Amino acid sequence: MATVSAKVYEHHKKNDGTYNVKICVHHKSERKFIDTNHYVVKKQLTKDYRIKDPFIADKVEQQLRDYRKEISELGDKLDFFTAETLRDYLRDKDEDIDFVKFCDKHIEGLRKDGREEPPTTTGWYVIAWWIFSGARLFPSMKSIPICS
């Protein structure tokens, strides 16, 4: 069972007196953290470092609800995740995909395994696609109907 919660740690105080609000992903007895773009000062926190500012608390709670929904939608697939891979999935789920970078990484892996030599058939397909399209980024896989 995976859980997510908001955390602010005293020892993470920055030089300007602010603290970054972090999302703690707890799964299979492991904890991993996602940095948020929310920063608070001491007066926005309770004595035990919980967020008391209603505006920030509402924003963070909305993010937690979104993460909990994503975790619930994983269903039985959640068993295949570690805390680290779940954190990465939640953090990166809406990022664009650099198709050429993905292919380069895949080809590099094939070369390391001694399965393809340059120039590869796969490499030529990537080059042809890149020249043809002139684009490097695909939208998130969730926006492609067949993948959602």
Residue the block writes with tokens 């990537």: 126
Q: Which residue has the higher pLDDT, 42 or 141?
A: 42
| Direct distance between the N- and C-terminal alpha carbons of the chain, in angstroms, rounded to an integer | 23
pTM of the full predicted structure?
0.67
pLDDT the model gives residue 76: 93
Average pLDDT on 29-36 reads 96
Residue 9: pLDDT band (50, 70, 90) is very high
**Of 75, 92, 109, which residue sits at a domain end?**
92
Is residue 72 located within the same domain as residue 103? no
pLDDT the model gives residue 112: 80
Tokens representing 21 are 């609000």
Domain that holds residue 142: 97-147
Is residue 66 located within the same domain as residue 139? no
Is residue 57 located within the same domain as residue 36? yes
pLDDT the model gives residue 48: 93
Measured CA to CA, the distance from residue 84 to residue 70 in angstroms comes to: 15
Identity of residue 88: D
Is residue 83 located within the same domain as residue 119? no
Residues 104-146 have pLDDT tens digits of 777 777 778 776 655 556 666 666 666 666 655 554 444 433 3
Is residue 116 located within the same domain as residue 80? no
Is residue 20 located within the same domain as residue 88? yes
Is residue 82 located within the same domain as residue 104? no
Residues 81-111 have pLDDT tens digits of 999 999 999 998 877 777 667 777 777 777 7
**Of 47, 70, 92, which residue sits at a domain end?**
92
Is residue 72 located within the same domain as residue 141? no
Is residue 87 located within the same domain as residue 101? no
Domain count, the chain: 2
The answer on pLDDT for 35 being more than 70 is yes
